[in-house]
Structure 1
Amino acid sequence: MPLAARAQEAWPSRPVQMIVAFPPGGQADVTARPTAAALERVFRQPVPVVNRPGAGGILGSASVARAAPDGYTALMALSSLGVLPESERIMGRSPAYTLDQLVPVARITADPTVLLVPAASPWRTLEDFIAAAKQRPGAITYGSAGNYSTLHVAMAMLTGSAGIDLLHVPFQGGGPALTALLAGTLDSLASGPGPALPHVREGRLRALACWGRERIPGFEEVPTFIERGHPEVEFYIWSGVFLPVATPAPVQERWRQALRQACEGDEALKRALDAAGSPLAYQDGEAFRDFFREDTARLVRAVQRIGRVE
């Protein structure tokens, strides 16, 4: 048997890294950790999650794009992955990575974002929030995981539809932005439902509306923007696994099979994501590639509408 074939059959023969391009506590991290634990049971190798934040997700994503294409470094990405190269171009910079350097393997979750405010805030409904923003243009703050991040794009959709002006405060990731909201130093935030759910259940945060076409499990009392008269405000944070594009096809297929096995058969993974309010929405192969292409095109159009952010 040729050496190359034996090497492929033996893969993986050492630990496999899963890179999260954001700090701990955000949506990518919440998804990556139980997914990595499930993959350890499939691969029979350690799958450490490595947080590599910076520049709204650019640094960690670029590190995987440039990694050795041997399958031992993967990226747990969010939908911002497709937006960041375009935002760099808008800002007059050369992108740190391009989408043709990465290959989509599988989508794990796909959650509508939720509009959150501190429970101590005076806004009990979406209409309260919009009315206050109209009374005080530019005074109410909202956080994001960085300029042109998914959380920024989601809020830009709302401000455009509602005709309001909010003050954008970028952070290094969704986790730090959520921490600031909990501390009361931030007025509002678009968040994935997973990180938000425990704080809403504990009464520390209030959810005013969600960006989904339908209400979200765990947030059944929270209306959609569509219900409240904003039909164009629809947005999802999805998480998915990507590899360097030159990763050998048999290794890509091993990843796809392992992720499918984990997502379809690992009850601990399902329970962890359900408990986090971010249920599985598995997709792989051509279906995920088509979804990624279409979603990226839509988000790039939104970023182009935002334009240059100084």
Structure 2
Amino acid sequence: MNPASRVNRSSPRCAAIALAAACLAAVTAIPAHAAEKYPARPVRFVIPFPPGGGNDILGRAFAERLGERLGQQWVVDNRGGASSIIGAEIVARSAADGYTLMLGTNSTLAVVPNVKKAIPFDPIKDYEPISLMSSSPYLLVVNPGFPARTVKDLVALAKAKPGELNFASPGHGTSNHLSFELFKLMAGVDITHVPYKGTAAMINDLMGGRISVMLVSTASVRPHVLAGRLRALGISIAKRSPAMPDVAPIAESGVPGFNTASWVGLIGPRGLPPAIVAQLNKAIADVIQGGDLRERLTSQGFIPEPSTPQQFAAYIRSELERFRKVVKAAGIQPE
């Protein structure tokens, strides 16, 4: 038999074998994460604050809905302490695979970098912004037995007793701390800072009369105000909140122009795959716009507001600069 004719008759089989081998090689060359549907297992959601505060309340509400939306549980991991640095470092050093994410706040990403001499993360270089989630105005609250009943009363009392009153925050370099420093600057008063390691402890001390006043998220103290355990003197944004309609803006009741709020968003380690970023960004928009989450959060004092990753990144940069100016004007020395 002619060798050439033997090769021709066997060539279809050889071609089929070669094609199968090529397909197998192509499949095995695909990275595991590209072939895996995300998320394929529970997501670790780091909240860099202790349980019980406004950030924890908000983070858990989103974790529940995002778990439902994406089909995998979001396991909340409260890593409070060191002004949120502990949790932030954990996430910055985690694998960029979408399974370790963080509730990024203005305290962590914009305030702490301006008040600490050295931190183990870079708020711009170490994280992938995914979406803004919500903002939250602060309530200026006092113990019901405190002599000041209005913002004007508080300012007058503080001016009469410079340095004798005190205010609490969840820690040096938190957004609560710098927001109150801004209040002091604009009101022209001297009130002593008492840092705590979380929101729950400082609220207890305010109710116990050991602290004079504080600016704290609406969600954290709204139940106490409604129950009469605390008195709200004002709210930190320029208009009244649907959650606390009887509380006037601080800007209208003693400190003109005062306007600030905390905010939170979803971030992950730098280098998250763009497809995962896009999927998470869409999931956040979906849970805010659909279902009862928006109404639920608004009733507690939050203002849900999603964004694009690019908008969130730009916002973080602008907030870094805003708080840099507050720190400089207040004469705060980095620790």
TM normalised by structure 1 equals 0.92
**Structure 2 counterpart SS, 1:36:** helix
Tell me what 1:226 maps to.
251
Q: Larger deviation: 236-245 or 284-293?
A: 284-293
1:198 aligns with 2:223: yes
Query: Mind listing any 5+ residue stretches in structure 2 that lack a counterpart?
Result: 1-26
Alignment of 1:58-69 (within 5 A): 58-69=85-96
Tell me what 2:142 maps to.
117
Tell me the distance in 2 between the aligned counterparts of 1:16 and 1:88.
30
Tell me the distance in 2 between the aligned counterparts of 1:196 and 1:8.
46
1:201-246 CA-partner distances (Å, limit 9, x unpaired): 1111111122212122222222223223533422110111111111
Percentage of pairs with the same residue: 30
Change (3 A) 1:6 1:154: closer
Alignment of 1:168-179 (within 5 A): 168-179=193-204
Bigger-Rg structure (1/2): 2
1:262 aligns with 2:290: no
**Structure 1 counterpart SS, 2:252:** coil
Tell me what 1:83 maps to.
111
Alignment of 1:43-192 (within 5 A): 43-80=70-107, 81-89=109-117, 94-99=118-123, 100-192=125-217
**Which of the residues 24, 39, 42 maps onto 1:15?**
42
Q: Larger deviation: 291-300 or 158-167?
A: 291-300
1:30 aligns with 2:54: no
Tell me the distance in 2 between the aligned counterparts of 1:208 and 1:224.
9
Q: Alignment length, in residue pairs?
A: 305
**Structure 1 counterpart SS, 2:116:** helix
Tell me what 1:284 maps to.
308
CA contact (8 A) 1:114 1:191 kept: yes
- Superposition RMSD on alpha carbons, in Å? 1.8
Tell me the distance in 1 between the aligned counterparts of 2:315 and 2:35.
29
Tell me the distance in 2 between the aligned counterparts of 1:247 and 1:97.
17
CA contact (8 A) 1:8 1:251 kept: no
The amino acid of 1:296's aligned partner reads L
Tell me what 1:42 maps to.
69
The amino acid of 1:87's aligned partner reads V
Tell me the distance in 1 between the aligned counterparts of 2:143 and 2:35.
51
The amino acid of 2:190's aligned partner reads D
Query: Mind listing any 5+ residue stretches in structure 1 that lack a counterpart?
Result: none
Q: Larger deviation: 278-287 or 43-52?
A: 278-287
**Structure 2 counterpart SS, 1:238:** strand
Aligned-pair CA distance for 1:87: 1.4
CA contact (8 A) 1:110 1:238 kept: yes
CA contact (8 A) 1:198 1:276 kept: no
Tell me the distance in 1 between the aligned counterparts of 2:231 and 2:214.
11
The amino acid of 1:67's aligned partner reads S
Q: Larger deviation: 144-153 or 176-185?
A: 176-185
CA contact (8 A) 1:85 1:96 kept: no
